[in-house]
Structure 1
Amino acid sequence: MVTALVVILVLILLLPFVVKQVEHNLEYFLFTMGIISVIVSKQFSAELFFHIFKNPLIYYITLAVLIAGLIFTLLKEKLKIGVEKVAEKISLRLFAFIIIVVLGLMSSIITAIIASLVLVEVVNYLPLTRKNKINLIVIACFSIGLGAVLTPVGEPLATIVVSKLHADFFYLARLIGIDIIIAILALGLIGTFFAKRESGIGEPTEDVEADENTKEVFIRAFKVFVFIFALELLGTGFKPIIDLYIVKMKSELLYWVNTISAIVDNATLAAAEISPSMTPEQIRAILMGMLISGGMLIPGNIPNIISAGKLKIKSTEWARTAVPLGAILLIVYYIVLFVI
């Protein structure tokens, strides 16, 4: 069983980068691999599907994407004009810094979902090349993914951790708030290097139709639903490996092993790993490893999924920026957490 699950994990990591059909249909590929993983791990059951369907989060995220998509479609011209005016009045580098930092910090209040929906609509109309738009989106998604954990409102990972530890609302803000804020500010500075003004201000990125119709908004929302369902299946499918091996590791090793959260729902990992018996230092290390890794591949975080879906960012395009950036952040925070 373990060998088969490892093979599935390798396929999930590799196939989107080498098979174009998989890359273009990532949601359905992950759903298929999720089904296979729960069959292999003997977790497949009607109860599992009922449990996933009863999860209100999957509907909340899908509805948020759908409603926001419809609203942004109706207000497209006003949004375009608004972005133009702001981009004309302030430096584009400053604008990029503000987007990354403000959405990162606000995501713990407005949720990571809403923050990412705002992000893609704003960046879509910035006078940037497609490459720099992708770079900016990736960096901002790291920021949102990190910032959202500061309160239980921001994302499911934070909700689960606070619940399991029987902690108060601001526990995570006290525990890793400084780490998160420093990372968000650093990401904001990094983002300024990709905010190079290009001609054609206000033009949507080339792979996104300027007039996204209602049908496309519904299709995108459905794909998000499938994506989240797939992550739930994968989290359940890989749970035997998590229970048998991962939860027994030392914090230093766990920090690196948790890079699996790049493809496995980090809330599932947190539910399995976090315990009230752990020290604050252990919890801090586990969370930082998960949060940073979550930005490295598209399936790692809801903001990644929403952003990549809207701007039609391919897995290879995402990884080209996100993997090196994530690796650098992981190394820096490993030194901060375990060496200094």
Structure 2
Amino acid sequence: MIIGLVSILLLVFFLPLLLKPVEKNLEMFLFIMGFLAAIISGVWNTSLFVKAAMDPIYISLTVLLAGLLFRWYQEPLEKSIRSLSRKMPYPIFIGSVTIVLGLVSSVITAIIAALVLVLIVTTLHLDRQSEIRFVILSCFSIGLGAALTPLGEPLSTIAISKLNEDFFFLVRLIGPEVFAALLIFGTLAALLVSPPKIGKRTMRVERSSETYEEILVRSLKIYFFIAGLTFLGAGFEPLINQYFLDLNSKFLYWINMISAVLDNATLTAAEVSPAMNHITIRSILIGLLMSGGMMIPGNIPNIIAANKLQISSKEWAMFGFPLGLVMMLVFFFAFLLTSR
């Protein structure tokens, strides 16, 4: 079982980077890998099938509805975005968008925040390098900010439920770290994202308006992506329960880099316990959240933005992985200093 699951984990990490057909069909690839992981670990049953079939429905319908609304109201929304970007100094505008999307994602959900990000990017017509940097920095921000309340994403909902805590518990627990990270990502966006060249038309203009078929196809891809993550999480849970749960929180922090390709909500469900002290819980959650932006499968905002904006796994990993690694190092040393 162990060899099989480790092999699947390595395939999930590297095949999207190495093979174009896998990269172009990432959602179905993850679905197949998740199905195989569930079979290998012996957790495949009717209950898991029903859960994998039901879990993606809300997210897929949300993506479908938001896609339709953005298509119907695209022109006035784009005018508002362009107007706002012209009234503010460009670095301040870009940095503010990155920070604000992270903050509001805890209320409007990470999915809606990601779709708003896509609309902003398609309106601005950035050069390719700036576009990729802006999207990845904003997705890091969204993934972290959404964890502040149970409304934002499944990880926070599960954490609050397992710990039997109130609505604002995670704001108190990881709020300072999340707010600091949002400021860092906003500052990096202001520094690293170049303004669009006046008069320069890009491919983004041609792709800014989606057909109904494209909106529907994206929603279906998201459905299979979430179902695949459900299978992957269930398939790896026995391995996590057997080998990871008794580890020191500092080791768990780094091992949770597997959140770059696995469902962090499932890892939260497996790792977090009311018996843990708050320092340990904070370390686990920040490790999961920070690594979630490293690669496309790590978080639902990543897959939505990458799918719509045609960002490849290699393009994402070249900027996202080192960025996430540096941020994890920064917060790891911060935890060491504050826990003394």
Q: Same fold (TM over 0.5)?
A: yes
The aligned residue for residue 49 of structure 1 is 49
Separation in structure 1 between the aligned mates of residue 205 and residue 2 of structure 2, nearest angstrom:
40
The AA in structure 1 aligned to 2:324 is G
The AA in structure 1 aligned to 2:14 is L
3-state SS in 1 of match to 2:192:
coil
The aligned residue for residue 3 of structure 1 is 3
Q: CA deviation at 1:200?
A: 5.2
1:40-59 Cα distance to aligned partner (Å, 9 max, x none): 1111222211122233xx22
Which sits farther off after the overlay, 87-96 or 230-239?
87-96
Change (3 A) 1:159 1:21: same
The aligned residue for residue 29 of structure 2 is 29
Q: CA deviation at 1:203?
A: 5.6
Separation in structure 1 between the aligned mates of residue 203 and residue 107 of structure 2, nearest angstrom:
29
Matched, 1:185 2:183: yes
Within the candidate set 146, 152, 155, 2:153 is matched to 155
The aligned residue for residue 95 of structure 1 is 93
Within the candidate set 301, 321, 324, 2:322 is matched to 324
| Equivalent pair of 1:125/1:205 in contact (CA under 8 Å) | no
| Equivalent pair of 2:27/2:221 in contact (CA under 8 Å) | yes
Separation in structure 1 between the aligned mates of residue 108 and residue 74 of structure 2, nearest angstrom:
21
Unaligned 5+ segments in structure 1 are none
Within the candidate set 215, 221, 241, 1:223 is matched to 221
3-state SS in 2 of match to 1:247:
coil
The aligned residue for residue 335 of structure 2 is 337
Q: CA deviation at 1:198?
A: 2.3
Alignment of structure 1 residues 290-301 onto 2, 5 Å: 290-301=288-299
Separation in structure 1 between the aligned mates of residue 310 and residue 205 of structure 2, nearest angstrom:
6
Q: CA deviation at 1:126?
A: 0.9
Which sits farther off after the overlay, 34-43 or 84-93?
84-93
1:263-318 Cα distance to aligned partner (Å, 9 max, x none): 11011001011111100000000001000001101111111111111111110111
| Equivalent pair of 1:52/1:229 in contact (CA under 8 Å) | yes
Q: TM-score, normalised by structure 2?
A: 0.96
The aligned residue for residue 18 of structure 1 is 18
3-state SS in 2 of match to 1:238:
helix
Change (3 A) 1:334 1:305: same
Separation in structure 2 between the aligned mates of residue 202 and residue 218 of structure 1, nearest angstrom:
31
Within the candidate set 138, 143, 146, 1:145 is matched to 143
Separation in structure 2 between the aligned mates of residue 322 and residue 292 of structure 1, nearest angstrom:
10
Q: CA deviation at 1:88?
A: 1.7
Within the candidate set 257, 260, 267, 1:259 is matched to 257
| Equivalent pair of 2:41/2:238 in contact (CA under 8 Å) | yes
Separation in structure 2 between the aligned mates of residue 68 and residue 114 of structure 1, nearest angstrom:
7
Separation in structure 1 between the aligned mates of residue 102 and residue 210 of structure 2, nearest angstrom:
27
| Equivalent pair of 2:132/2:315 in contact (CA under 8 Å) | yes
The aligned residue for residue 234 of structure 1 is 232
Change (3 A) 1:307 1:324: same
Q: CA deviation at 1:79?
A: 2.4
Matched, 1:315 2:313: yes
Which sits farther off after the overlay, 76-85 or 101-110?
76-85
Separation in structure 2 between the aligned mates of residue 338 and residue 207 of structure 1, nearest angstrom:
47
Separation in structure 1 between the aligned mates of residue 90 and residue 193 of structure 2, nearest angstrom:
6
3-state SS in 1 of match to 2:124:
coil
The AA in structure 1 aligned to 2:244 is I
Change (3 A) 1:219 1:190: same
Task: State how many pairs are aligned.
Answer: 338
| Equivalent pair of 1:125/1:201 in contact (CA under 8 Å) | no
| Equivalent pair of 1:130/1:205 in contact (CA under 8 Å) | no
The aligned residue for residue 111 of structure 1 is 109
Q: What RMSD over aligned residues (CA atoms) do the two structures have, in Å?
A: 1.5
Unaligned 5+ segments in structure 2 are none
Q: TM-score, normalised by structure 1?
A: 0.96
